């Protein structure tokens, strides 16, 4: 099996993933499903399911037994399996999907394409396992601008640790973080009727600690950077990020924009 390097920062702390990115998953999933289109009797696949935010939303439409989901991270697969006990949830990477050709009516990947080791092969595999005419759809964060939390985080990191942060900024180094690049990938793998656009969601935070808590645990690329800092710089980053978000004292909300691409196999 392919070792998916992008999965490395998602191997642990599934509860922290929920607080970090998982809180965005249900509303983003609803928007992605609407863009992709799912019918109640469809058989569907969630690639890079994580703890199951998208798979769970898909199951509400088609029923668990019509949902399959894969992720290379065993802890995430365990959580997804527990949430959807009658779905087909497996440890696997996009690049080697363990399914026959033409198995599904639609395949989705939420916030995953940019982490794939070989995105052309991974999306090509999604196309292979979808029936002719079926949909392949995915979304990635607008790391450069519209994903408020991550953008504010890296801008704060540049402020307090410019030398260390320069090469880790996801706005600079994440692939498929623009609409053109993402839809271009769909065209590269010869998907048809390719369309794309933006998905916007808003999520609540209890307070600033609710946002900050996952980061020092090393979750995701932003967390991995945070965990690598000495305590003093980490505290400076915390202060700078809070300031950038208006020093919230109680509950607040943040918006996030993702790009989506959809095409037919
Ligand atoms: C940001 S999380 C998104 C999880 C989930 N889709 C969601 O919306 O909450 C990225 C996920 O991609 C998975 N991943 C990384 N490389 C992958 C690959 N090559 N194939 C499939 N999934 C991969 C990670 O393990 C992680 O679960």
Long-range contacts formed by 158-163: CB under 8 A, 24+ apart: 159/240, 160/233, 160/236, 160/237, 160/240, 161/229, 161/233, 161/236, 161/237
pLDDT at 16: 84
Confidence of residue 15 (pLDDT cuts 50, 70, 90): confident
Model-level pTM? 0.93
pLDDT at 13: 62
Nearest-angstrom CA–CA distance, 72 and 70: 7
* Residue 79 Cβ contacting ligand 1 at under 6 Å: no
Q: Which two tokens stand for residue 7?
A: 């999965």
| Averaged pLDDT, 79-100 | 97
Pocket test for ligand 1, best of 26, 71, 98 (most atoms within 8 A of CB): 71
Nearest-angstrom CA–CA distance, 163 and 170: 15
pLDDT at 2: 37
Residues 31-45 pLDDT 10s: 999 999 999 999 999
| pLDDT at residue 4 tops 70 | no
Nearest-angstrom CA–CA distance, 51 and 60: 16
pLDDT at 87: 98
Which among 78, 73, 80, 66 has a CA at the least distance from the CA of 94? 73
pLDDT at 226: 96
Residues 171-230 pLDDT 10s: 999 999 999 999 999 999 999 999 999 999 999 999 999 999 999 999 889 999 999 999
Nearest-angstrom CA–CA distance, 171 and 168: 9
Atom of ligand 1 nearest to the CA of 117: 19
Pick from 78-82, 181-185, 219-223, 248-252: least confident: 219-223
Residues 53-77 pLDDT 10s: 999 999 999 999 999 999 999 999 9
Phi, psi of 252 (to 5 degrees): -155, 170
* Residue 119 Cβ contacting ligand 1 at under 6 Å: no
**Alpha carbon nearest to ligand 1 atom 27, residue:** 50
Confidence of residue 1 (pLDDT cuts 50, 70, 90): very low
Pocket test for ligand 1, best of 5, 53, 72 (most atoms within 8 A of CB): 72
Residues 109-159 pLDDT 10s: 999 999 999 999 999 999 999 999 999 999 999 999 999 999 999 999 999
Q: Which two tokens stand for residue 5?
A: 């390097």
Asked if residues 141 and 149 have their Cβ atoms less than 8 Å apart, the reply is no
């Amino acid at each position: 099996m392919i070792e998916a390097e992008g999965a490395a920062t998602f191997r642990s702390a599934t509860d922290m993933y929920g607080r970090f990115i998982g809180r965005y998953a249900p509303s983003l999933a609803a928007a992605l499903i609407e863009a992709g289109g799912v019918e109640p009797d469809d058989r569907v696949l969630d690639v890079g399911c994580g703890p199951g935010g998208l798979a769970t939303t898909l199951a509400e439409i088609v029923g668990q037994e019509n949902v399959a989901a894969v992720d290379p991270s065993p802890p995430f697969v365990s959580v997804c399996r527990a949430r959807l006990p009658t779905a087909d949830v497996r440890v696997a990477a996009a690049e080697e999907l363990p399914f026959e050709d033409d198995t599904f009516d639609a395949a989705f990947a939420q916030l995953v394409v940019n982490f794939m080791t070989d995105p052309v092969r991974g999306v090509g595999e999604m196309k292979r396992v979808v029936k002719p005419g079926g949909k392949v759809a995915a979304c990635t964060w607008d790391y450069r601008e519209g994903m408020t939390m991550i953008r504010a985080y890296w801008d704060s990191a540049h402020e307090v640790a410019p030398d260390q942060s320069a090469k880790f900024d996801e706005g600079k180094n994440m692939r498929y973080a623009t609409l053109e690049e993402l839809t271009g990938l769909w065209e590269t793998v010869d998907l048809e009727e390719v369309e794309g656009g933006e998905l916007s969601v808003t999520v609540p935070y209890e307070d600033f600690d609710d946002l900050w808590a996952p980061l020092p645990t090393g979750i995701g690329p932003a967390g991995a950077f945070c965990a690598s800092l000495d305590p003093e710089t980490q505290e400076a980053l915390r202060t700078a990020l809070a300031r950038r978000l208006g020093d919230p004292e109680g509950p607040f909300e943040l918006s996030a924009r993702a790009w989506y691409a959809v095409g037919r196999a």
